[in-house]
Amino acid sequence: MRAVIPYKKQNAKSRLSPALTLEEREYFVELMLRDVVESLQAAGVNKIDVLTTPQNGVPDDLDVDIIFSEHDLNKAINGYLETVDEPVLVIMADLPLVTPQHIRNITDIEDDLVIVPGKGGGTNVLFIKNPDSFYVRYYDSSYINHCRIAQEMQQSVHVFDSFLLSTDIDEPQDLVEIMLHGHGLSKSYIDSKFGMEDNGRARVRVSLCQ
């Protein structure tokens, strides 16, 4: 099997801008990428492609292959799927809570397709056993899209139920989850920048370190 991580550094994670500057966001997404790659490698996945735009931004020291694509996300990944003839793990770069055990568990599942849902109908991870019998359609309720495409292509589906893997980091409030449940470089960075305070409603929220 191999893994592919779609990645875009430039002006990444604009919805985090209330909490992080542009430079901080671009630094932070690189740390999240490193954490994802680390978990894949620790799980024994040694064929890792990073699919990115020609501006690149992937650090040189990562033991990954870089694939450039000018296309939008769906075209880029579907183009990539046409070039591979082994199972492919499509894992997003903003999942710093992923652990090697998640990767092992997902890749042990026997169904044709494993979907890890994200919040609000998104798709965080896909494990595609038969890349010639699947295509992706991210954005616009991608979870529903991917279930439907699997059904259309007669691929059996397993929905993988993990809080940590459903937690993609998009908005300031998501940073709390890194503080509470994270590990690795992204946790160290976020811990150095933020604290938590109670908001009186059974939730914690981020606050700048004083």
Q: Which lies closer to a copy of itself via its Cβ, residue 164 or residue 185?
A: 164
The CA–CA distances, whole Å, from 39 to 81, 127, 182 equal 22, 16, 12
First to last CA, the chain: 46
The residues with which 3 forms a beta bridge, in sequence order, are: 48, 89
**Minimum gap (Å) between residue 118 Cβ and a copy of itself:** 8
Q: Which lies closer to a copy of itself via its Cβ, residue 64 or residue 166?
A: 166
Q: Which lies closer to a copy of itself via its Cβ, residue 47 or residue 158?
A: 158
Q: Measuring CA to CA, which residue among 113, 7, 106, 123 is closest to residue 66?
A: 7
Q: Which lies closer to a copy of itself via its Cβ, residue 52 or residue 162?
A: 162
**Minimum gap (Å) between residue 10 Cβ and a copy of itself:** 18
The residue ranges that bind a copy of itself (CB under 8 A) are 117, 119-122, 138-144, 159, 161-166, 173, 176-177, 180-181, 196, 198, 200, 202-205
**Minimum gap (Å) between residue 43 Cβ and a copy of itself:** 16
**Minimum gap (Å) between residue 132 Cβ and a copy of itself:** 26
